[in-house]
Amino acid sequence: MVPLDEVENVWADTIADSPQNEQATLLMDYVTNTWIEGPWTPEMWNHFGNDSHRTNNHLKGWHHKINPIAQKSHPNIFEVVGLLKREQSTVEVKLQQLDGHWRGPARKRKYRTIDARIRSLKMNRGTELWKQLMCY
């Protein structure tokens, strides 16, 4: 939730504000070596420009829906193909609904408020962005 060009500065501020103990140092070293300078660079995981899903809960929901339809743990390839064809039909209906400007059920007020707050914080792009997000 931090602009890509500010990730390193925000991380440096976070390190400076962290407790001075061995466990905190180990955590800071791990994050730096893995997520800031390591194989998982900020370009790969940063979601600041993402206006869509903030989590992968929608994928978990899809799996939760599909598993009972499959009716067993390890379906064979023919069963999987049939399952995916049925799912494709469902998605095509949803696409037609969207083309017809059907908006679906309204999101809960709680999540609309969170989305609005995040949009506002993103537009500010100030140096206090991270601290504001962490205080939510």
Is residue 16 within 8 A of residue 132, CB to CB? The reply is no
pLDDT, one tens digit per residue, over 108-121 is 999 889 888 888 87
Is residue 132 predicted with pLDDT exceeding 50? yes
pLDDT, one tens digit per residue, over 1-54 is 788 889 999 999 999 999 999 999 999 999 999 999 999 989 888 888 877 777
- Same domain? For 40 and 69 the reply is no
Is residue 136 predicted with pLDDT exceeding 70? no
Find the range with the poorest average confidence among 6-15, 27-36, 65-74, 98-107. 98-107
Q: Which amino acid is at 62?
A: W
- Same domain? For 10 and 45 the reply is yes
- Same domain? For 81 and 66 the reply is yes
- Same domain? For 12 and 45 the reply is yes
Burial of residue 81 (number of CB atoms within 10 Å: 0-12, 13-18, 19+): exposed
pLDDT of residue 134: 55
pLDDT of residue 133: 55
pLDDT of residue 70: 86
- Same domain? For 19 and 39 the reply is yes
Which range marks the domain in which residue 127 is found? 4-50+108-134
What domain count does the chain have? 2
DSSP state for residue 106 in the 8-state scheme: P
